[in-house]
């Protein structure tokens, strides 16, 4: 049985501070959570930055640099930088951090879509910061823009610096988009896919839909490895189903703030520990960071610029 790549998506840019006191916000919290997730068995950490003042999603390269330098000083985890950005950010702002810091892996979102977070508003009674409410409300009008010109620009930028794209597939159409990029020479086969399920605007999280994504990928691509992440209560059901299929699994507070129904996770590491336990029960050892470098053909930690 192949090893499982467990990714921890540490803080993301979706949940807001009022939703959980355990969501890491400051540079130090994001570093500490990443290292603890690594120690618990995550081979990859998926990193977003937040404004240390009030926890709003940030694209500040210097904040990213501080986070990544701090992580690298303490462990050799593979860092995947997000190029998802946040409401109102231009594509150039979204890729700038990757161009500067040259990570081994970066997210690559393969299509435009609605990305609606406003239903979260009804779950929050007291907002700690006004920006949280404004931010969630604004997603009612948001188009997450990933047109082909943006996709090609991101592919070229990543290829120039040897960063491997983690290909985020939020819906079946994005498999088609990815194949088009292969046909035009912007991506090579031997892909690393991340199925992202349960975002309002993307494919709903269900076993049928996971099979649909997997089977369509098998029919479309010659060679790929794949992981899944799913929003909220679907995080573990989709992750575990994917382990059974032979794929990999992402956990982390970016995707779900919970460890059990109604029980907030106190850390990313708590979710990683659970993923490790389940994976081992299925006779799949968690991959180490060095395993992942070989499995995904990454350039190596010595070639990053942080
Ligand atoms: N936030 C998730 C919906 C990214 O950061 O670029 C998917 C994701 C993509 O993590
Ligand atoms: Zn992300």
**Residue with CA at minimum distance from ligand 1 atom 6:** 84
Tell me how far the alpha carbon of residue 147 lies from the centroid of ligand 2, in angstroms. Answer: 19
Which ligand is nearest the CA of 115, by number? 1
Q: What is the pLDDT of residue 76?
A: 98
Report residue 215's pLDDT band, with 50, 70 and 90 as the boundaries.
very high
Q: Residues 85-92: what's their mean pLDDT?
A: 84
Helix (H) or strand (E) holding 238: helix 235-245
Whole-model pTM: value is 0.97
Mean pLDDT of the chain: 97
Tell me how far the alpha carbon of residue 223 lies from the centroid of ligand 2, in angstroms. Answer: 24
Q: Residues 79-88: what's their mean pLDDT?
A: 89
Q: What is the pLDDT of residue 85?
A: 83
Q: What is the pLDDT of residue 72?
A: 98
Pair of tokens at residue 7? 């990714």
Report residue 86's pLDDT band, with 50, 70 and 90 as the boundaries.
confident
Taking only the tens place, the pLDDT of each residue in 40-82 is: 999 999 999 999 999 999 999 999 999 999 999 999 999 999 9
Contact 71, 31 (CB under 8 A): yes
| 45-49, 89-93, 153-157, 267-271: the lowest-pLDDT one | 89-93
Q: Is 104 in the pocket of ligand 1 (CB under 6 A)?
A: no
- Segments of the chain assigned E as strands: 6-9, 44-47, 49-50, 57-58, 78-81, 105-109, 113-114, 143-144, 164-169, 191-197, 224-230, 248-251, 258-260, 263-264
């Amino acid at each position: 049985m192949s090893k499982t790549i467990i990714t921890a998506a540490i803080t993301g840019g979706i949940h807001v501070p009022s939703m959980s006191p355990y969501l890491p916000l400051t540079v130090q919290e994001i570093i500490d959570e990443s290292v603890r997730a690594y120690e618990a068995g995550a081979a990859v950490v998926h990193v977003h930055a937040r404004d240390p003042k009030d926890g709003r999603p940030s694209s500040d390269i210097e904040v990213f640099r501080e986070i990544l330098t701090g992580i690298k000083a303490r462990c050799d985890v593979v860092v995947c930088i997000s190029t998802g950005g946040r409401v109102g950010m231009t594509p150039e702002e979204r890729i700038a951090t990757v161009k500067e810091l040259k990570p081994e892996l970066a997210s690559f979102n393969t299509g435009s879509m609605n990305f609606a977070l406003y239903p979260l508003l009804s779950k929050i009674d007291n907002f700690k910061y006004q920006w949280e409410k404004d931010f969630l409300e604004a997603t009612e009008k948001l188009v997450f823009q990933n047109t082909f010109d943006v996709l090609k620009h991101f592919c070229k930028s990543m290829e120039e610096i040897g960063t491997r794209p983690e290909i985020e597939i939020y819906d079946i159409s994005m498999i088609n988009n990815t194949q088009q990029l292969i046909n035009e020479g912007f991506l090579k086969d031997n892909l690393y896919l991340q199925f992202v399920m349960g975002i309002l605007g993307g494919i709903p999280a269900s076993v049928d839909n996971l099979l649909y994504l997997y089977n369509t990928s098998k029919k479309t691509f010659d060679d790929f490895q794949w992981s899944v992440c799913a929003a909220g209560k679907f995080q573990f059901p989709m992750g575990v189903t994917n382990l059974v299929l032979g794929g990999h699994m992402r956990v982390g507070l970016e995707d779900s703030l919970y460890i059990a129904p109604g029980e907030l996770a106190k850390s990313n590491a708590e979710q990683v520990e659970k993923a490790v336990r389940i994976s081992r029960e299925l006779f799949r050892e968690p991959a180490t960071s060095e395993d992942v470098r070989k499995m995904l053909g990454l350039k190596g930690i010595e070639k990053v610029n942080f």
